[in-house]
């Protein structure tokens, strides 16, 4: 019987995950399909998952923390962050994983040795990345619009600030993990702060993919080397697919056909 996988999010229409995973399943003759589910109420994740008869799913903005709560068991790095982006149906139990952080580490490899990072945003993606960076002894600062979510980062050992208290420093890399620019044309912070940040960094990355966000547009204008979220998406997708197929396909084959879907 064909297995069904899905991506849950709000918004979700922009997601390339269905194309990526279906490209792998189709080309490697794996009996499965991958659909898109627009979920507004995150508390309905579990019941929706089972009512659709899913074998596994990815979770995107803004439900990753809710997904962590919905799991019967959480494995690996997701336990360090309380954020889940991949769930697997294991004999009727929901098992949660996080593949975002390692996907991002894969994406920034080409920037070389990164020692100091500024993260814009303090949501689920920021948590996963900050926790992973700290594991690698990287100096991390988090800048967010509001104060409430910063306590996690303080406890983790990051420096943190809201827009009001932000003081300039030099960074190797600045990464936008806010959803500013995803479905609007906003910058992740007021323009004078962003200008200041961009004038003091070597590299820039955005978790958003498939469009040049206003943040990346500004980085481009300033001739700063940047990348959007496509490689991060590929990295997390390959790791999620390995879990979906229970490691029955070769990683190199998954990567090859998933990367091919970016050309479609
Ligand atoms: P969350 O909803 O958990 O967090 C969103 C964060 O963005 C919060 O810190 C919030 O601030 C901030 N924010 C939202 N709107 C604005 C705004 N207009 N201006 C400034 N800050 C804002 O989201 P996620 O962490 O799950 O996802 C964030 C982004 O990363 C999304 O765009 C998602 O698509 C992308 N992503 C891409 C991946 C990839 O593979 N390329 C993987 C994972 C995520 P506040 O606390 O003040 O509300």
Alpha carbon nearest to ligand 1 atom 26, residue: 61
Sign of the alpha-carbon dihedral angle for 60, 131, 232, 57 = negative
% of residues, the chain, pLDDT over 70: 100
Ligand 1, atom 22, lies closest to the CA of 178
Distance 72 CA to ligand 1 centre (A): 25
Pocket perturbation via mutation, ligand 1, pick of 123, 132, 180, 233 by most ligand atoms within 8 A of CB: 123
What angle do the packed helices 214-221 and 191-198 form, to 10 degrees? Answer: 50
Mean pLDDT of the region 162-170: 95
Q: Which atom of ligand 1 is nearest to the CA of 182?
A: 32
Rounded CA separation 61/230 (Å) = 16
**Residue with more model confidence, 85 or 14:** 85
pLDDT in tens, 123-159: 988 999 999 999 999 999 999 999 999 999 999 999 9
Three-point CA angle 180, 220, 127, nearest 5°: 40
Condensed to tens digits (0 to 9), the pLDDT of residues 174-184 reads 999 999 999 89
Distance 125 CA to ligand 1 centre (A): 7
Tell me what pLDDT residue 210 has: 86
Peptide bond into 193 cis (omega under 30): no
Q: Does pLDDT of 2 surpass 80?
A: yes
How many angstroms does the Cα of residue 181 sit away from the middle of ligand 1?
10
In this prediction, residue 19 carries a pLDDT of 97
- What interhelical angle do 251-261 and 17-27 show, nearest 10? 130
Closest ligand 1 atom to the C-alpha of 145? 47
Strands 171-176 and 116-120: parallel
Selecting among 46, 64, 220, 227, the annotated active-site residue is: 64
Q: Where are the beta strands (DSSP E) in 98-158?
A: 116-120, 139-144
- The mean predicted confidence, pLDDT, of the chain is 96
259 contacts: CB under 8 Å, gap ≥ 6: 234
What tens digit of pLDDT does each residue of 66-122 get?
999 999 999 999 999 999 999 999 999 999 999 999 999 988 988 999 999 999 999
Rounded to an integer, what distance in angstroms lies between the CA atom of residue 193 and that of residue 189?
6
Answer whether residue 204 shows pLDDT above 90: yes
Distance from Cα 212 to the centre of ligand 1, integer Å: 16
Residue 229 has pLDDT above 90, yes or no: yes
Residue 41 has pLDDT above 90, yes or no: yes
pLDDT at 190: 98
Q: Whose CA is nearest to atom 7 of ligand 1?
A: 178
Query: Which residue's alpha carbon is nearest to atom 18 within ligand 1?
Result: 180
**Distance in Å, CA 77 to ligand 1 centroid:** 20
Q: Is the peptide bond before 259 cis (omega within 30 degrees of 0)?
A: no
Q: What is the pLDDT of residue 264?
A: 80
Q: What is the pLDDT of residue 1?
A: 77
**Residues 6+ away with beta carbon under 8 Å from 116:** 138, 139, 141, 169, 170, 171, 172, 173
Q: Which residues contact 8 (CB under 8 A, 6 or more apart)?
A: 37, 39, 45, 48, 49, 57, 58, 59, 60, 63, 67
Protein residues whose CB sits closer than 6 Å to any atom of ligand 1: 60-62, 64, 100, 103, 121-126, 144-146, 149, 177-180, 182, 186, 188, 207-209, 229, 232-233, 236
Q: Is the pLDDT of residue 169 over 90?
A: yes
Question: Is 64 one of the annotated active-site residues of the chain?
Answer: yes
User: Residue 255 is encoded by which pair of tokens?
Assistant: 């990567």
pLDDT digits (tens, 9 = 90+) for 232-264: 999 999 999 999 999 999 999 999 999 999 988
Atom of ligand 1 nearest to the CA of 61: 26
Three-class secondary structure of residue 47 per DSSP: helix
């Amino acid at each position: 019987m064909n297995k069904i996988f899905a991506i849950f999010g709000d918004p979700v229409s922009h997601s390339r995950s269905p194309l990526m995973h279906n490209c792998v399943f189709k080309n490697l003759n794996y009996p499965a399909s991958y659909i898109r589910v627009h979920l507004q109420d995150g508390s309905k994740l579990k019941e929706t998952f089972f009512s659709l008869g899913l074998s596994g799913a990815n979770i995107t903005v803004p439900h990753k923390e809710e997904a962590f709560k919905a799991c019967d068991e959480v494995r690996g790095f997701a336990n360090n962050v309380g954020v889940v982006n991949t769930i697997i149906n294991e004999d009727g139990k929901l098992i949660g994983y996080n593949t975002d952080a390692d996907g991002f580490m894969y994406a920034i490899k080409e920037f070389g040795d990164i020692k100091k990072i500024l993260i814009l945003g303090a949501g689920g993606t920021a948590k996963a990345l900050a926790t992973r960076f700290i594991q690698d002894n990287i100096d991390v600062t988090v800048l967010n619009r509001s104060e409430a979510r910063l306590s996690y980062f303080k406890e983790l050992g990051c420096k943190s600030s809201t827009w009001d208290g932000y003081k300039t420093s030099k960074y190797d890399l600045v990464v936008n993990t806010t959803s500013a620019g995803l479905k609007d044309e906003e910058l992740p912070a007021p323009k004078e702060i962003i200008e200041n940040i961009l004038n003091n960094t070597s590299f820039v990355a955005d978790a958003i993919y498939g469009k040049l966000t206003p943040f990346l547009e500004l980085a481009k204008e300033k001739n700063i080397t940047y990348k959007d979220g496509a490689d991060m998406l590929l990295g997390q997708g390959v790791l999620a697919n390995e879990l979906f197929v229970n490691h029955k396909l070769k990683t190199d084959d998954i990567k090859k056909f998933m990367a091919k879907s970016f050309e479609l």
